[in-house]
Structure 1
Amino acid sequence: MRPLPMSTRRLLLGMVAAAVAVLAVPPPAAAHGTLAMSTPAEGATVTGPLSAVELYFTERVASHAYFTIIAPGGGRVDSGWTHGSPKPLDKPVREYFLVEGKFEPREYTTGFPAVVTVAHLPAAGQYSVSYLSVASDGDPVRGTLTFRYTGPATPAPQGWSPPTNQPDPALLAAADRHGTPDQVLPTSAAPAPAPASAEAPVAAPPGESDETGGVGWVAWTGWAFAFVVVVAGLVVWRTGGRFAVAKTRSSRSAARPADPRRGRPGGPNSTTRHGTGSRARKTTAAGAGAVIPTTRGGGRVAVRPVNDTPPAGAEAENVVPTVAAARLGPSNTRLALLAGGLVVSLLAGFGLGRLDDGGRAGGGSATVPAGGAPASDARRSAVDGHQHGPGTGPHTHTGDAGAALATGTTVSANGYTLQPVRRDQRPGQTVDYAFRIVGTDRQAATRFATVHDRPLHMIVVGRDLSGYQHLHPTMAADGTWSVPLRLARPGGYRIYADFTVIGADGTTQLPLVLGVDHVVPGAYTPVPVPAAQPQATAGPFAVSMEGTPTVGVMTPLLFRPSRDGMPAAAQLERYLGAYGHLIVVREGDLGYVHVHPEPELVDGAVTFWLTAPSAGRYRAYFDFQVAGRVQTAEYTLDIS
């Protein structure tokens, strides 16, 4: 095979570079009716008494929206909410709607407030405001903002008691149906603004649907097109390039009679087209064998020589000569066509396919301020079971998109499977528990990102929610993980692998939690789940828990360890990159919720942000370290 000419190599490299550039641009994310600003602002310091918190959204929130205000001690201090009067936003906000396959910007300059009454301010410290609503396009709108109060404590109104209500079931059902929290469009992807009315939210484009997957047919069309192009490229390779280039004999071509079916002469400057799968030939007056494939509307194949003019009546925009192909031999032509076909298929399949990720049918949307900065720093919960609250560092989780907030109930997810070497062991025996994480290629994954100082965290919990262990296996070169495991009591156990696998490109990261059952045979007597209490004992420490877990709403949980009999807080040390770690497991299906902490202590407490996936009983396991030793405090969360 002759070397590719420099011009052809540059063409192929350009095509590949274009593909990489297109695929690297993130699509606008779905986020409609989101929070634009607030009073107090996110992270603000309030020095004097406060009677209400105002949250300004880009559209009027639903009448059954849910709001909470949590005081530093974990108790609620909100006392209902009302719709306020619209007012201009400090900065215009731009939302993006998916209309006929394209994201179109619309700008909002008016905020529609929800005014949440503050009953009282019991102490100085950090207050958090959480919200849950559903936008007009059906997307959930949820998040949390915080502010710090430094003024004097104010008394509660006479006869007032902290609210205990949970979100409306219809609201939870609507949010769960879509399952994706609001997101912010990366500023690099923001096109020029298109102003809309400043007095009312812009109506969603026609054809908008509340159901997910509204453009799923576009996604499937894209991938089908990609598959066809790849197959066509392989056929070209196998058939020797006969679809692209064919040497002809000038004597046969010149002697070709007129084609009565086409009403077109068969002379030396004519074009003969055959059906799909036949040889397409074009002969120049000189009888040269080089030909140039072109395409026309209707999917038919036309070819014309280099330097030839298009046939009479041909539309210029439908004729695309491939000049480089005329200068190549059959082998190099096959290579060029195959490479080009693969690039086109990648762009078409991925580009069309991910339209389904960017919005709903006729009306997905995303939000950024007109100036380019994020609309707000509202806290968002990840959709893969890993929760992220205010101050969480750069590590994020985007795997299992659209899944429930509790994971680990399946052995396989997103093409990866947890394969244990053994599934049982004797009580009281220490075994070398081994397993692999296997991909769709049936090979063990060996590239994992380090999250919280470890590439993989293994959690063990009994089916009765007892016997908790947090272990860190080591991986051999062949992808086999192993760790000593001892289980004292007979019964059934759930073993979770919490990890982030790195993709074949070396940069893509997919966080997953996979779970598998493990059995210890023998006479099994389940341990009753303890009653819910705000206090727990861990070794020589008493640990208080403060907070009000709420279904579907991100709320803080605070933990304060202290030595028994000593009022001063324990001197916590960082463990796995933070001052504590909290794992929550749901009774029944053993759904796993790994809740990430604030990186620093908040008012002397270890703070986590929990979004309870559903009502029910949970067991929470709080790990912390003092004097080089890890302790675990356990709690029951009874969420109604």
Structure 2
Amino acid sequence: MRTGVRIAAFATALAASFGTAYGVGQGLDPVVADSAPAPHEEHAEETSTAPGDGHAGHETPPAGGLQITEGGYALHLATPSVRAGRPTELRFTVRDDAGKPLTAYRREHDKELHLILASHDLGTFRHLHPVRAADGSWSTPVDLPRAGGYRVFADFTPAREGARNLVLGADLAAGGDFEPARLPAPGRTARVDGYRVDLAGSLRPGQEGDLAFKVSRDGRPVTDLQPYLGAYGHLVALRTGDLAYLHVHPNGAPGDGSTEPGPGVSFAATAPSAGTYRLFLDFRHQGKVHTAAFTVRAGAAAPTAPESAPAHSEDGHGH
């Protein structure tokens, strides 16, 4: 994954969703769960996909990842369905045009491949780091709390000269009884695991904007954040409705002589369109990774709603 912005829009095929998350297993990384999401009205702007909507002179990055196959590679999900509430080994491969599994990847931000898993209502988010076998197959343990539809995103770059980064997507179904959750209302503050994270800046369609996060605990700024995936923070944004994927990394890096280990972590990001997005910020402190979640609207004024609903992480990240 490169510094800056990479956008991939994914069409969804499953309509069900679920809202609470927890994690177990050695391959499991950040987990976020929202308690008692605040209801809010649906927003018409979520369906707006006009490039550079209202921002003349700025070119919106092209949408990618609309299919399961792109750039000569295809994502093959060997585990297309699981049972909610039961630990399962999620298996998949990335194959070339000849059907041969890809076995050589460019290592970026400490990993060969990053796997993002999110429910269609964006109430559940997980950043997983699967293990690759010699034959090119990947696997990671998952334990999904509720039934419904998920989207799995494989973010990688083949290790060949001139290869570009790709994000491929596939649908994953979790069987069982489910009850859809509603997206939390927009807010500028999130609380997770005893930490408070404040958001400044805005996500703008067709224009690069700054998103700045400030981490504190017990009323004091956290100034000793630890590197996670080669940075002091890791941010993923997903658009509601179709799960358009926006993957960014912070400005600066640990050890560059100018980037401080907190309390602030900032990002440069461009939204593919106006709409409502869910932001997931991963940060590491005292040996544990925590995920703070926010709901924001691109192309709208700064929200005046109360704080975002608390996001609770549980043990079992497996770092």
Q: Tell whether the structures are fold-level matches, with TM greater than 0.5.
A: yes
Partner of 2:158, secondary structure, is strand
Provide the residue aligned with 2:214 in structure 1: 560
CA distance in 2, matches of 1:168, 1:474: 38
Q: How does 1:250-265 map to 2 (within 5 A)?
A: none
Contact 1:428 1:486 survives alignment (8 Å): yes
Counterpart for residue 13 of structure 2: none
Give distance in 2, aligned partners of 1:568 and 1:418: 42
Q: Which has the larger radius of gyration?
A: 1
More strand by share: 2
Which deviates further from its counterpart, 628-637 or 521-530?
521-530
1:562 to 1:171, Cα distance in 2 relative to 1, 3 A: closer
Structure 1 match to 2:102? 445
Q: 1:513 aligns with which of 132, 144, 167?
A: 167
Question: Number of matched residues?
Answer: 243
1:604 offset after TM fit, Å? Answer: 4.4
State the partner residue of 1:599: 252
* Whole-angstrom distance in 1 between the partners of 2:169 and 2:88: 19
Aligned amino acid, residue 537 of structure 1: R
Contact 2:215 2:263 in 1 (8 A): no
Higher relative contact order structure (alpha carbons within 8 Å, sequence separation ≥ 6): 2
The corresponding residue for 2:202 is 548
**Which amino acid in 2 is paired with 1:524?**
F
Aligned partner of 1:498: which letter? D
CA apart distance, 1:570? 4.6
Indicate yes or no: 2:182 matched with 1:525: no
- 1 CA distance for matches of 2:223 and 2:231? 15
Segments of 5+ residues of structure 1 without an aligned counterpart are: 1-166, 180-382, 384-402
Is contact 1:415-1:439 (8 Å) kept?
yes
Q: Secondary structure at the match of 1:484?
A: strand
Counterpart Cα distance in 1 of 2:251 and 2:203: 17
Q: What is the alpha-carbon distance in structure 2 between the residues aligned to residue 168 and residue 458 of structure 1?
A: 29
Instruction: Give distance in 1, aligned partners of 2:285 and 2:225.
Output: 5
Contact 1:584 1:593 in 2 (8 A): yes
Deviation at 1:522, TM superposition (A): 2.1
Matched, 1:639 2:298: yes
Q: Measure the CA separation in 2 of the matches of 1:614 and 1:463.
A: 18
Distance in 2 (CA, whole Å) between partners of 1:170 and 1:571 is 40
Q: Which of residues 615, 619, 624 in structure 1 aligns to 2:274?
A: 615
Aligned to 1:470: 127
Contact 1:560 1:605 in 2 (8 A): yes
Amino acid corresponding to residue 631 of structure 1 in structure 2? H
Residue 32 (structure 1) aligns with:
none
Q: Retained in 2: the 8 A contact 1:426–1:521?
A: yes
2:189 partner amino acid: Q
The amino acid of 1:627's aligned partner reads Q
Q: Does 1:501 align with 2:155?
A: no
Aligned to 1:482: 139
Residue deviations 1:410-440 (CA, integer Å, cap 9, x gap): 2111111100111111111111111000111
Query: What's 1:491 paired with?
Result: 148
1:499–1:512 CA contact under 8 A, matched in 2: yes
Compute the displacement of 1:408 (Å): 4.0
Over the residues paired in the alignment, what is the CA RMSD in angstroms?
Answer: 1.9
Shift of 1:524: 2.4
User: What is the CA-CA distance between 1:555 and the residue it aligns to?
Assistant: 0.7
Q: Secondary structure at the match of 2:182?
A: coil
What TM-score comes out, normalization by structure 1 length? 0.37
The alignment status of 1:419 with 2:76, answered yes or no, reads: yes
Q: Deviations over 1:86-120 (max 9, x none)?
A: xxxxxxxxxxxxxxxxxxxxxxxxxxxxxxxxxxx
Deviation at 1:566, TM superposition (A): 2.1
- Which digits, 9 at most, give the CA deviation of each residue in 1:519-571, with x for residues without a partner? 012222221111111100121100011102211111110111111x3233352
**Secondary structure, aligned partner of 1:609:** strand
- Work out the CA distance in 2 between the residues paired with 1:621 and 1:423: 24
1:628 aligns with 2:287: yes
Task: Give the Cα–Cα distance (whole angstroms) in 2 for the partners of residues 171 and 570 of structure 1.
Answer: 37
Q: 2-side partners of 1:473 and 1:558: how far apart?
A: 29
Q: Which amino acid aligns with 2:286?
A: A
> Match for 2:92 among 425, 435, 446?
435
The one of 183, 190, 194 equivalent to 1:536 is 190
Q: Deviations over 1:472-505 (max 9, x none)?
A: 01111111011111101111000110111122xx
Which residues in structure 2 correspond to 1:75-474 (within 5 Å)? 169=53, 171-172=55-56, 176=59, 383=61, 403-404=62-63, 407-474=64-131
Structure 1 CA distance, aligned partners of 2:165 and 2:272? 18
Q: Percent identity?
A: 37
Task: Read off the aligned partner of 2:231 and give its amino acid letter.
Answer: A
**Structure 1 residues 540 and 604 mapped into 2: Cα distance closer, same or farther (>3 Å)?**
closer
Counterpart of 1:514, as a letter, is L
In structure 2, the CA distance between the partners of 1:409 and 1:590, relative to structure 1 (3 Å rule), is farther
SS across alignment from 2:293: strand
- Whole-Å separation in 2 of the counterparts to 1:485 and 1:467: 12
* Other structure's SS at 2:224 match: coil
SS of the residue aligned with 1:425?
strand
User: Runs of 4+ in structure 1 displaced over 6 angstroms?
Assistant: none
Amino acid at match of 1:456: L
Instruction: Provide the secondary structure at the position in 2 that maps to 1:501.
Output: coil
